[in-house]
Structure 1
Amino acid sequence: MLAQEATTNINPGLAMIGYGLGAIGPGIGVGVIFAAVINGTARQPEAEGKLRGLAFQTFILTEVLALIGLVLYFIASTA
C-alpha cells in the first residue's frame, strides 16, 4: 500500500469529544492562575499590577493550548 493511499477517517463526533477533553486542562489552568493572583493580591496589595501582568501573560499561553485543540478539531473533522 502506498503512503498516498493510506488515509484515516476520524469520526467528527469523536474529534469533538477529544477537543472537549483537551479543553479541560486549559480551563483548570486558567482557574489556578487567577486563584494565585487573588491570593497574591490579598497578601500583598501593592504587587497587584505586577501580578496582573504576569497573570495575563500566562493566561494567553494557557489559552493557546485550547485554540490549538480547536484548530486540530476542525482539521480532524474535515479530513
Structure 2
Amino acid sequence: MEVGLVLMGAYLGAGFAALGMGLAAIGVGNVAGNFLAGALRNPSAAPGQTATLFIGIAFAEALGIFAFLVALLLMFAT
C-alpha cells in the first residue's frame, strides 16, 4: 500500500512540475509580446533591446526545461 501512495505522490508531483512547462510558455509569450509592443511604439529603440529580448526568452525557457527535468525525475526515478 505504501508503494502505491509513493507512486501516486510522484505522479502528482510530476503533473505539477509539468504545469511549469506551460507557465514557461506563457512567460515566453509575455516577454515577446511586451518587446513587440515596445518596438511598435518606438521602432528606433528596438535594435538596442533585442539582446534583452533573447536573454528574457532564454531565462523563461530555462525554467520550462528545469520543470520538464523535474517531471521526468519524479516519474522515472522512483
Over aligned residues, Cα RMSD in angstroms? Answer: 2.0
Q: CA deviation at 1:16?
A: 4.4
Of 30, 42, 45, the residue aligned with 2:43 is 45
2:15 alignment counterpart: 17
Contact 1:10–1:76 under 8 Å retained in 2: no
Contact 1:40 1:51 in 2 (8 A): no
1:32 Cα deviation (Å)?
1.0
Q: What is the aligned partner in structure 2 of residue 5 from structure 1?
A: none
Aligned residues: 72
1:47-72 residue CA offsets vs partner (Å, 9 max, x unmatched): 12122211110110111111111111
Match of 2:30 in 1: 32
Deviation, 1:31, is: 1.0
* SS of match in other structure, 2:61: helix
Whose helix proportion is higher, 1 or 2? 2
Structure 2 unaligned segments of length 5 or more: list them.
none
Radius of gyration: which is bigger?
A: 1
Structure 1 residue 74 displacement after superposition: 1.3
Conserved? CA contact 2:13–2:74, under 8 Å: yes
Q: Match for residue 60 of structure 1?
A: 58
